[in-house]
Chain A
């Protein structure tokens, strides 16, 4: 894949440009890396707590519960039934969603409507809770000020929009 060249190219470009500008690459790099080390250490306590909470919630059957509630509504709007668990799982667990998506890919006909909706959904959304946990954990934010509701409404919109977009652009 041609995309694999992006990382080395970006690093080489930055280093090359810095050399051209006569920046002392090594000492500047280590200075920045020290900063990174400090963030990594400060992140652990919050991450430990938040990830445990998310993991327990995930294992508690909450995902299945939510799926069951929204399934009848979602099906009426034309949302493919196979994709609903993926949409619910996506914000909680990156690896979980990826595993489920892989399974879908194997079982659905390539290029079919549900397969495309699932792919668009995977490509167009992120692991919301993880991102929030890492970013706020890093700087010790305790009051989220409705970040999660806002992020989840974006996820919800992404789920609905992926059906619309596939209908609109792929038929």
Chain B
């Protein structure tokens, strides 16, 4: 948070103070917005869990997930939540991915014994979510179409390549940067 101070050197104190007044409002707005979708998608998640869809998805994605999260081998619940979040991300359901991701974080939190420090799995999972996994970037395509691109989806192979590579790099970095010898 020290980094905020550096705004004062740029002579933009006014903007910074305006941000200090407005951003808490945005935060409240955002969590209100999240409130609805969190309730809805947590409900859907529960239904999917009870009916066995999560197990199905989980079995499908498990080989991949265990490669990234070897420590979760016996944590069915966490793996299930992560698979749901991953699927929502792939389908481009940003609104669904966040609540499902939070559910996954809670499972990981439980496993860590409610520690206040992030575990290796949490870091990897968050990094996974900061790299876009979306198969069809619809917003980008819509904007391109609107502005006269003939084939708005012709960038897809490049997008996939970039997503996949940056995801791998992110996960590698997460494992590499994780402080050693701080296992709880």
Q: Which residues of A contact B (CB under 8 A)?
A: 1, 3, 6-7, 10-11, 14-15, 17-18, 20-21, 23, 25, 28-37, 39-41, 43-44, 47-48, 50-62, 64-65, 91, 98, 101-102, 105-106, 110-111, 115-116, 119-128, 131-132, 134-136, 138-147, 149-151, 153-155, 157-158, 161-162, 165-166, 168-170
Contact B52 A21, beta carbon cutoff 8 Å: yes
Residues of B with C-beta under 8 A to A10: 91, 93, 96
Contact B106 A39, beta carbon cutoff 8 Å: yes
Interfacial residues of chain B within 99-153, with CB under 8 A of chain A in the complex: 99, 101-103, 105-106, 108-109, 116-120, 122-123, 125-127, 129-132, 134, 136-140, 142-144, 146-150
Instruction: Kindly state the separation between the CA atoms of A110 and B177 in the bound complex, as whole angstroms.
Output: 39
Contact B140 A122, beta carbon cutoff 8 Å: yes
Contact B42 A143, beta carbon cutoff 8 Å: no
Instruction: Kindly state the separation between the CA atoms of A43 and B28 in the bound complex, as whole angstroms.
Output: 10
Task: Name the residue of chain A whose CB is nearest to the CB of B119.
Answer: A145
Q: List 20 A-B contacts (CB under 8 A).
A: A14-B51, A23-B51, A29-B46, A31-B43, A47-B27, A48-B28, A52-B23, A55-B19, A59-B7, A59-B16, A60-B6, A60-B7, A60-B8, A119-B144, A119-B159, A120-B155, A125-B166, A150-B123, A151-B131, A154-B127
A-B contact count (CB 8 A): 333
Task: Name the residue of chain B whose CB is nearest to the CB of A13.
Answer: B53
Task: Name the residue of chain A whose CB is nearest to the CB of B101.
Answer: A135
Contact A141 B143, beta carbon cutoff 8 Å: no
| Residue in B18, B44, B158, B174 with the greatest tally of chain A CB atoms within 10 Å | B158
Contacts known (A55-B19, A61-B7, A169-B161); A40 close to B31, Cβ less than 8 A: yes
Contact A153 B35, beta carbon cutoff 8 Å: no
Contacts known (A111-B149, A124-B162, A145-B118); A59 close to B12, Cβ less than 8 A: yes
Contact of B123 among A31, A146, A158 (CB under 8 A): A146
